[in-house]
Chain A
């Protein structure tokens, strides 16, 4: 049975054997037998992290003409305040109008916890439909309904005939998975189950055969470009530019896509992912159910990876020759432009922290720019990344790899030992390095350019700027300290991995 026939998608620990606990080296990871998984352990000391609800909300808050209804305690959903800037800018740049995210909370209270929240949810859906008249109402479950046993799918099915909007139940109960990338599966799962049906149309009275032919021709050259919020508009435009150069039309999916237009993804000739951490669950579904083939391999960050990414797409359409011409010209121009920046990077040590694939691809890119990668911290690990570990291992000296759902205490310990010149961290993940006085740069921000050939140059330009004056962090480190005991820096970085006693919690 397809995963999509079940109410909830499987968690990635089960589906992909993804893990979050590992301390070792790049050569160790690159030379393991293909497809073998790490046995995931536990840390005996942990710091706060995020759960799948946060990236889940980042995706669904972007959908135009929709209302997000968080079914949970009042705080679940407030991360939207942090994502709102992206929604405002993203709406403006794509639809020409600044728009705040529209989200609601059922704000479950103590009596709901005892008596169940289904009635409240049902009434909330009806009220949201009346008040906002949206195209879709996305019901997202947080932890509480998961524990008290509210059946959001049951409620959705019950209320659907009474409301105009399409109801999308999305499962984001944070305690159920350690791998927050399960969020992408959770959102895709509901889109796949609820939004891909073609609208009912009355057939044309007069058949225009030429138009039909044109439409067929257009579809045969239309590709789905998957984006789950990891790219801002500037990055989408860069990839559109490259794909258009191959004569392709681009359908960006699913961020900022109108729910009523989403069915078009089923008509494309090909789906292209930019990140194997994001889309495999949905691409397989599009392939199995609608026959849309897909490519999910390279991330177009860095010169080599962008070229590989474009070559794969071109090969699918038999456009290899055209692609080589584009690549040769693009790379020539880019390399020439980078000459000015590269001396500032030569031999500088860099530590990178992000989602696994992004961290690795960025590592490869920085190696291309002349940096030496001395450490990588990936938020989780799964088998998709093996190819990327191999590329990096071939290019670099051996270095440390920490697989952790953030855990800045391990990072602080590593950074004190490795003393890199530069640190690239995710959103909310540069504070530790900053306080240690290391130059920093954010590895993901939807307002900045990272992707494609243009991204290589723009990252280069920003790093050049950051390294030119590192005073902010240097001064900070003189007056502000991290919250760790001195003795922690002397300890083995991975001391708390698998330190949980065997009898504990068994």
Chain B
């Protein structure tokens, strides 16, 4: 294992946690941390989250205890108590959520004790320990959900038929989080389900509180939010289904079938719905056919992304679009036991393609993996090049794409060079969005 990570495509658990809490309806993060932690997330997002920063109480507005050397020496729990008390006076929120940074965790502040004093007074306040050395921002998201499920979601009560929770898309660190969540929410609602997605403007804190009434939790990720799903099952008895992020018709068809099976929905109805949605999808594609052929828009592809996008984009390119993904790079830090499962997600592509799967956290090493996979030009007269090529990755892949003469689109975090508000790639419609963006990148010079 390497002794460093080059240009990590994530920040710390605290950063992921703050972005997640800020995205909750009425959520107020209270950082018990050094003064720069909030600013670090703010600056990170300003150049990496498709121009999105903050929210109702985000950015540099987040309450933060800003601990100093004095707290390191004498402990920070008094400071935290004072900060929470005054936050309740100044900040108007519905759920206050204390999260910790490296400093307060290393010095061992008893956050649980301080928070419980306020809980006893009837304040809607919970906490999560999100010190920076525990993992990355995706894990911070998981930790926030775990705490929400343990400490906020009401226990007991009946399961309600047709009610589901859905998560696995990390606010701000999936730059398309809002569009992606809305896309899936709308899709499942069309099937007649009642969906809680936590972070869209249709979600409410009341709905989240009653999340235990769902009969199924759907986690559209193989990694993000999985521990939280286990916590949920343990605390509330709701099983979970983990699926890849469904982008485009192929993946969405099988996503819907899986959910139909898990909820014992009428099979015929599901198939009818799938057919109708595919019909709509291909009515759009129909008008593309001439230029797609005339301009020869099929491409080889290199996909570089987090666990959600690496799988979802590769599948979409190979099995919906008929492109040729040759190398797929997972850029997350992963445990060895997680890797075979993720590689397995790309082992049985419908198109029969077998992209080379690489696990690599370091940006500048990626070119080496591509060269290893596809022999470089050696001055032959006839050379079957890896081209025309498209790199779907993050904005850190611009140098790579340029160096190998490929078109490029930023999809996975960081996305510095795109403005993203409600755009999403999930479902049938999301497939059309992604296709538009890919082809637009190719024809931009026309």
Q: How far is the CB of A347 from chain B (nearest CB, A)?
A: 31
Name the contact of B36 in the complex, choosing from A51, A105, A501 (C-beta under 8 A): A51
Contact of B8 with A147 in the complex, beta carbons under 8 Å: no
Name the contact of A73 in the complex, choosing from B2, B3, B78, B132 (C-beta under 8 A): B132
A93-152 interface with B by 8 A CB criterion: 98-110, 112-113, 120-121, 123-124, 127-128, 131-132, 142-144, 147-148
Q: How far is the CA of A178 from the CA of B39 in the complex (A)?
A: 13
Q: Which of B45-53, B216-224, B251-259, B432-440 lines the interface with chain A?
A: B45-53
Interface residue? B229 (CB, 8 A)? no
Contact of B86 with A496 in the complex, beta carbons under 8 Å: yes
Interface residue? A64 (CB, 8 A)? no
Interface residue? B145 (CB, 8 A)? no
Contact of A81 with B3 in the complex, beta carbons under 8 Å: no
Q: How far is the CA of A29 from the CA of B75 in the complex (A)?
A: 35
Contact of A105 with B8 in the complex, beta carbons under 8 Å: yes
Contact of B12 with A175 in the complex, beta carbons under 8 Å: no
Contact of A107 with B40 in the complex, beta carbons under 8 Å: no
Contact of B90 with A78 in the complex, beta carbons under 8 Å: no
Residue of B nearest to A406 (CB): B60
| Size category, B interface | 35 or more
Interface residue? B89 (CB, 8 A)? yes
Interface residue? B204 (CB, 8 A)? no
Q: How far is the CB of A164 from chain B (nearest CB, A)?
A: 17
Enumerate chain A residues within 8 angstroms of B10, measured Cβ to Cβ.
74-75, 78
Contact of A409 with B90 in the complex, beta carbons under 8 Å: yes
Q: How far is the CB of B37 from chain A (nearest CB, A)?
A: 7
B143-194 interface with A by 8 A CB criterion: none
Interface residue? B56 (CB, 8 A)? yes
Q: Mark B1-16, 1 if CB is under 8 A from A, else 0.
A: 0111111101111110
Q: Mark B300-317, 1 if CB is under 8 A from A, else 0.
A: 000000000000000000
Residue of A nearest to B44 (CB): A78
Contact of B79 with A75 in the complex, beta carbons under 8 Å: no
Q: Mark B29-48, 1 if CB is under 8 A from A, else 0.
A: 00100111111111111111
Contact of A175 with B67 in the complex, beta carbons under 8 Å: yes
B121-147 interface with A by 8 A CB criterion: 131-137
Contact of A405 with B47 in the complex, beta carbons under 8 Å: no
Number of A interface residues, CB 8 Å?
83
Q: How far is the CA of A349 from the CA of B270 in the complex (A)?
A: 62
Contact of B87 with A45 in the complex, beta carbons under 8 Å: yes
Contacts A73-B133, A78-B15, A432-B61 known; A104 to B46 CB distance under 8 Å? no
Q: How far is the CB of B395 from chain A (nearest CB, A)?
A: 8
Q: How far is the CA of A73 from the CA of B14 in the complex (A)?
A: 11
Contact of A46 with B63 in the complex, beta carbons under 8 Å: yes
Contact of B46 with A428 in the complex, beta carbons under 8 Å: yes
Interface residue? B278 (CB, 8 A)? no
Interface residue? A48 (CB, 8 A)? yes
Contacts A46-B63, A82-B44 known; A75 to B132 CB distance under 8 Å? yes
Interface residue? A504 (CB, 8 A)? yes
Residue of B nearest to A45 (CB): B86
Enumerate chain B residues within 8 angstroms of A484, measured Cβ to Cβ.
90-92
| A-B contact list, 14 entries, CB within 8 Å | A45-B82, A49-B35, A73-B131, A78-B11, A78-B15, A108-B133, A123-B3, A143-B103, A178-B35, A178-B66, A409-B90, A431-B54, A432-B61, A486-B92
Known contacts A46-B83, A74-B10, A78-B41; 17 additional CB pairs below 8 A are A45-B63, A45-B83, A45-B86, A46-B35, A50-B35, A53-B36, A73-B102, A73-B133, A75-B10, A75-B132, A79-B43, A82-B45, A143-B102, A408-B60, A409-B91, A428-B43, A505-B70
